Amino acid sequence: MRRTVFPHKLLPWLLLAPQLAITLIFFYWPAAQAFRQSVLKEDPFGLSSAFVGLANFRKVLSDPAYLNAVQVTVVFSLLVAFSALAIALFLAVQAEKIIRGKGFYRTMMIWPYAVAPAIAGMLWLFMFNPSFGTLAWPLRQIGINWNPLLDGDDAMILVVAAATWKQISYNFLFFVAGLQAIPKSLLEAAAIDGASRRHAFWTIVFPLLTPTTFFLLVVNTVYALFDTFGIIHAVTGGGPGKSTETLVYKVYNDGFVNLIMGDSAAQSVILMVIVIALTAFQFRFIERRVHYG
Amino acid sequence: MARIELQDVRKSYAGQEVIHGVTIDIANGEFVVIVGPSGCGKSTLLRMVAGLEEISAGTIRIGDRVVNTLEPRERNIAMVFQNYALYPHMSVRDNMAYGLKIAGLSKADIDAAVARAASMLELEPFLDRKPRALSGGQRQRVAMGRALVREPAAFLLDEPLSNLDAKLRVQMRLQIKDLHLRTGQTTLYVTHDQVEAMTLADRLVVMDRGIAQQIATPHEVYTTPANEFVAGFIGSPAMNIFDVRSEGGILVLPGGHRVTVADPPPDGDLRLGLRPEDVETVSDGADAFPVVIHSVEWLGADAYGYCVIDNSDTQLTVRMPGNAPAARGDRLKISLSRSRLHFFSKEDGRRLKAQRAS
């Protein structure tokens, strides 16, 4: 590791100051606020608050609606992270085979990432709205009783599809870069060793891609847990009947719609702990199977 | 083990032909080296034999099969790559066993084959290491081992030593030669290094601009190069080649020097080739001409004098004994009559006739 030596002690702190300030203001301060709120109980008008200890946590954790949100989040996150990774990897592998128009294809693939989550949600809502959706009609024609406004499973499929669609671009970009970093001669050596393309993919390409896949797994999990709020808000609003209400959506709903600040803050603290634990778990146990170059 | 036959093999990229019809017949167990400057098409030719590049025209046979359209894995060949192409996430053992596992060999057979190759290449202590924990020479040996275990019909090597340092290269060269003698494997070896080419080959293919300029034993390539390119490419320092004029048994050299040669070429303008070691310095004579030394490289046993033919700007390299006193500005007399001369056509560079001192 290269060490840079500064002429005096102040300069490095000055250079770090903007980054530290941003982290403090936009991460530590709100996090601290959430912790503070989570042990307080506020009156309905927000005029006074009282210290209640862990009462908010106890209440939240015994609330069946909260446990439902945990279950919804697990299903939703697993589906989104897995589909977004699998589809993006498939597309990236296919994009490698293209000879003409590679750049065009890649550019087109990256565009969905530039679409804001709420807009993406609206697009999917319009396409699959049971009464006027462009794609809902053909679904009904082939005999599928499609109604995400009434059927919880349909609603889940729709938000998973929208959230996945949006994340594929990002994953695709990283997978393409990861694939390009694998020397062609390795695949040639595998071909000469007698491996079929499929076998070479699973024994050579996939293991060598694990650093990328692992990084994306962490990013996608966090994405599914937090960044999909906009999509859920636009497409289903957590419904029908809480069937698509994820933890982060419930934090919003309880805090800003129902104005139960203490509950909401306790939930966001729990969510923070979950994400930290999950990421630590991923680094501790899954990263072992990663082959770094 | 098998014979490899290339019949008028051609390769074009986007309508541009880069390999212009190469025909080689490699006997069973023969060690053939393809040598040439970078960009001459030698690696492309090897990759076409391996099946990594499609051929645009011609026929490639390995054993008795035409393999033109077969996938690499159906050709029963093994290849060593310049960058070794070891699977970085697998141990040395798994690298070597990879092909055998695919072939569906039993665990016992795989272990035996890997152990045999490992002992041949002295790789036993490294079997459980990953490639990144190995030195360049060890990686090279693993790459060789991976090719060896499969006992293929032919062995293809693409500049396998060019990533090694000079000392290791000599060592590995000897090891490759030794392996070939022990296994008797048909081998096709690509290199740009003429020392590797000369020392390893049973036969050489000298390539330039997509054409096999000469296919012959190293000795034949050296003593009777087929054309000016081969003459200039093989040999270090390179052969002296310059314009001369032949007039009734007399050669007119640059600078107007007229010398007699024992067995003169036909009259006319041509190119004379003269290896530095075939140049002989004499005290005087009707067949001698003067040169001026402008620098001397002393290598120990030998010294190379870089000279200019007197009254001209044609350069001439002369090998001298290491103990001969020579310095910049000295004048030497050089005799052609007792030297080995090569004459090439001025138009197309083809060899005109071989001449030997009697």
CB B123 within 8 A of CB B141: yes
User: Which has the closest alpha carbon to B186: B218, B156, B144?
Assistant: B156
Residue A288 touches partner B, C-beta closer than 8 Å: no
Element (H, E) at B10: strand B4-13
Interface test with B, best of A192, A196, A203, A209 (most B CBs within 10 A): A192
Interface test with B, best of A100, A193, A204, A289 (most B CBs within 10 A): A193
Residue B136 φ then ψ, to 5°: -55, -45
> CA–CA separation, A249 vs A228, rounded Å?
9
Q: What letter would DSSP give residue A25?
A: I
CB–CB contact A192 B50 (8 Å): yes
Q: What is the pLDDT of residue B354?
A: 46
ipTM summary value: 0.80
CB–CB contact B85 A203 (8 Å): no
Choose the weakest-confidence range: A44-53, B5-14, B231-240: A44-53
Task: Nearest by CB to A291, from B51, B79, B89: name it.
Answer: B89
CB–CB contact B98 A203 (8 Å): yes
* Residues pairing with B121 in the sheet: none
pLDDT in tens, B339-356: 688 889 888 888 886 444
Q: What is the pLDDT of residue A106?
A: 80
Residue A207 touches partner B, C-beta closer than 8 Å: yes
| Strands laid side by side in the B203-208 sheet | B77-80, B154-158, B186-191, B31-35, B203-208, B211-216
Tokens found for residue B133? 């924990």
The three-state secondary structure class of B216 is: strand
Total residues found in chain B within this entry: 358
Task: Nearest by CB to A204, from B78, B87, B99: name it.
Answer: B87
pLDDT in tens, B48-96: 999 898 888 889 988 888 888 888 888 888 999 988 899 999 999 999 9
CB–CB contact B85 A186 (8 Å): yes
Contacts of A194 in chain B (CB under 8 A): 73, 99, 102-103
For A:156-195, CB contacts with B below 8 A are: 183, 185-186, 188-195
Q: What is the pLDDT of residue B339?
A: 64
Q: Which amino acid is at A149?
A: L
pLDDT in tens, A70-86: 888 889 999 999 999 99
In the A/B pair of chains, how many CB contacts fall below 8 A? 59
CB B293 within 8 A of CB B305: yes
What is the mean predicted confidence (pLDDT) over A232-248? Answer: 81
Q: Which residues contact A185 (CB under 8 A, 6 or more apart)?
A: B81, B83, B85
Q: How confident is the model at residue A171 (pLDDT cuts 50, 70, 90)?
A: very high
| Strands laid side by side in the B268-274 sheet | B258-260, B250-252, B240-247, B268-274, B342-345, B351-354
Q: What is the pLDDT of residue B356?
A: 42
> CA–CA separation, B334 vs B272, rounded Å?
14
Residue A293 touches partner B, C-beta closer than 8 Å: yes
Prior bond to A240 cis, omega within 30? yes
Tokens found for residue A209? 């891609």
